[in-house]
Amino acid sequence: MKKDGDSPARVRFAPSPTGHLHLGGLRTALFDWLWARKTGGQFILRIEDTDRRRFDPESMDSLIRGLRWLGLDWDEGPDIGGPFAPYVQSQRQEIYQEKAQELIDRGHAYRCFCTPERLASLRDEQRRAGRRTGYDRHCRTLSDAERSQREAEGISSVIRFAVPLDGVTVYHDLVRGDIQVENRHLQDEILLKADGLPTYHLAAMVDDNLMKITHVLRGEEWLATAPIHKLIVDAFGWEMPVLVHLPVILDPSGKGKMSKRKKLVAGKEFLALVHEFQDAGYLPDAMFNFLTNVGWNFDPEEEVFSREEAIERFCLDEINPSAAALPYEKLDWLNGLYIRGLTPAALKVALVPYLSRQLGLSEAELQKDRKLDVLIPVIQERLKRLDEGADWVDWAYLTSDEIAYSDPKLLIGRKMDAAQSIAMLRAGAALLEEVELFDADAIQEAFRERASELGVKAGNLFGPIRGAISGKKVSPPLFESMVALGRHETLQRIGRATAYLEGLTIEESV
C-alpha cells in the first residue's frame, strides 16, 4: 500500500563495470527496485563506466545476468533505452563537458593545469610536514592571462570544483538525518579529467538531475562524498534527490567490510559474488527473501515472505543504519525451505544442470532418467543448495564395478563382524530375489519382517546393504535407492560387496 507522500519514485542503480557483481551491489539494486515498484515509479539501470582504467568488459554481462537472475527488471537502461538515453556514461561525454563549462561560467569551477609531477611532490611535502594531503588550489587564483597562456601552450588541464572556502554544508540522509561538514575540510575535487571524461562526482550529479532521479540509494561508503555532491547540485541551482545510504555489509567475521572475493573463515567458504551464489545453487526466490532483510527488516516474526509482500511493506524510513554481517546460515536455511517448496518436477529441472556439470552426463539424458524421479522426492528434504545434489545421487550413476568397497567398515555394521555382515547381505539378496513388487514400501516391509525372523535389529540388516549399493555411509533412504537402481543392479552390487567381504583376510575384516 502506498503511504502518503510516496509519490512515484525514480531510482537508479548505477554500477561501475569494474568487476563481477557482488552481493552488496545486488542488495542496492534490490532496494532500488523495491522502492520503484512500491511507489509505482521507475527503476533505471545506468552504467557508470567513465573510469576507463578500471573498465572490465565482462562485468556488463555479469551485471545484467545477476540482476535478471534475482528477477529484477528495469524500466530504462542501456539494453532497452528510455526517454533519457543513452544510459551508459561513456556515451554522454559531451553533456558532462558542457555542464563542467557551465560551472566554470558560473564561477563554481576552474581549470587546473598542475602536472602530475607537481601534485606528487606537493603530496610528499605535505606528508613530510605531517599535514593533510590534498590539492593546494594553486590554479584557482590564476589570472585570465595566465590561464590563456597555459592553454595556448597546450598544457593539458582538468576542471576542478571550487569549494566555498568557509561556511558549512548541511545535507540530509534519510537513514542518518542531517549531517554537517565545514567546507574548509573539503577538497577542490576534479570534475572533468584531462582525457575529457568526467569523474563520478560530476557525471552522477548531472545524470541524476537530467534523468529526474528522486531517490539516490547507494552504499554507505559514499557518505563522505555527499557534501561535495550537495555543493555541486547547489552550484547548478538544482534540487538534491533524497539521499539514502545503505548500511555496509560486513564479512563473516563481523570485523571488516565484506570483500569482493570469497573468503575462507575457519575452513568454511563464504561466497561474495552473485554468480558464485548462482553456481552454488541458491534459488533466486531464497536470495530475494534473504537480501531484502539485509539492512531492512520485513518483520522480526516472519522470516519468509513473497515478492509482492516485500514490495507492499518495504519502506525507506525503516532502513537500519548499522552495519551487519551476512547471516549465511540463514541463507542456507531459507534456500532449503524454497527447495522443499518446489514440486519434484521443478526441482528436477533446477537440479539437472548442476548434476550434468558435476556428473559429466548430458542434461537431456538426466532429464529423461527415471532414477532421478525416484530419488528427487527423497533428497529434496535434505538439500540446502543445488550443488549438493550430486553428492546424494552420484552413486546411482556408477556401474557396479565402479563402486569401490575399499573400506570394510562401510559394509560391516556396528558391533558386527564380517561373517555376520555377509549373512545380512545374503539374506537381503535372497529377499530381493523374492519380492514380487519392487516398490519401496513393499521392500521395506519384507526387510523388517525378515530382520525380526532372524532376530537381528533392522539396522543390522540395512547397514551392510546401504554400503553395498551406494558405497557410502550416508545416502538417500535405502528402499527408494533400491527402487532407483532396479532389482538387477541392486542384486549385482550386493553380490560384489559380498564377494569383497568374503575375500578379506581375518585381519582386514576386524
Sign of CA dihedral 180, 162, 228, 135: negative
- Cell numbers linked to 125: 611535502
Q: Is 16 in the site for ligand GLU (CB under 6 A)?
A: yes
Q: Which is nearer to ligand GLU, 219 or 327 (CB)?
A: 219
The 10-13 sheet, strands edge to edge: 42-45, 10-13, 215-219, 242-246, 168-173, 177-182
> How many other β-carbons are positioned within 10 Å of the β-carbon of residue 345?
10
Q: Interacting stretch for ligand GLU, rule CB under 6 A, among 8-16, 94-102, 269-277, 338-346?
A: 8-16
User: What are the catalytic residues?
Assistant: 260
* Cα distance between residue 344 and residue 347, in whole Å: 5
Residue with cell 509482500: 309
Give the per-residue contact string, 383-422, with ligand GLU (x = CB under 6 A; - = no). ----------------------------------------
Q: Are 44 and 10 in contact (CB under 8 A)?
A: yes
For strand 158-161 and strand 109-112, is the pairing parallel, antiparallel, or unpaired? Answer: antiparallel
Q: Interacting stretch for ligand GLU, rule CB under 6 A, among 10-18, 70-78, 354-362, 399-407?
A: 10-18
| Among 20, 22, 218, 313, interactor with ligand GLU by CB under 6 A | 218
Q: Interacting stretch for ligand GLU, rule CB under 6 A, among 12-20, 80-88, 134-142, 179-187?
A: 12-20
Least distance to ligand GLU, CB of residue 168, Å? 23
Q: Which helix (H) or strand (E) holds 218?
A: strand 215-219
Least distance to ligand GLU, CB of residue 91, Å? 15
| Among 103, 175, 186, 204, interactor with ligand GLU by CB under 6 A | 204
Least distance to ligand GLU, CB of residue 229, Å? 9
- Cell numbers linked to 411: 559394509
Q: Which is nearer to ligand GLU, 15 or 413 (CB)?
A: 15
| Among 11, 14, 291, 485, interactor with ligand GLU by CB under 6 A | 14
Least distance to ligand GLU, CB of residue 254, Å? 23
Q: Which is nearer to ligand GLU, 13 or 69 (CB)?
A: 13
Which residues 23-82 are close enough to bind ligand GLU by CB under 6 A? 48
Q: Is 222 in the site for ligand GLU (CB under 6 A)?
A: yes
> How many other β-carbons are positioned within 10 Å of the β-carbon of residue 401?
9
Q: Interacting stretch for ligand GLU, rule CB under 6 A, among 13-21, 33-41, 95-103, 380-388?
A: 13-21
Q: Interacting stretch for ligand GLU, rule CB under 6 A, among 11-19, 245-253, 293-301, 445-453?
A: 11-19
Q: Which is nearer to ligand GLU, 19 or 341 (CB)?
A: 19
Sign of CA dihedral 369, 374, 377, 381: negative
Of residues 105, 158, 103, 104, the one with CA closest to residue 135: 158
Size of site (CB under 6 A) for ligand GLU: 8
* Cα distance between residue 245 and residue 173, in whole Å: 7
Q: How far is CA 26 from the centre of its chain?
A: 7
Going from the C-alpha of 290 to that of each of 97, 319, 353, the distances in angstroms are 42, 15, 24
- Residues of this chain that bind ligand GLU (CB under 6 A): 14-16, 48, 200, 204, 218, 222
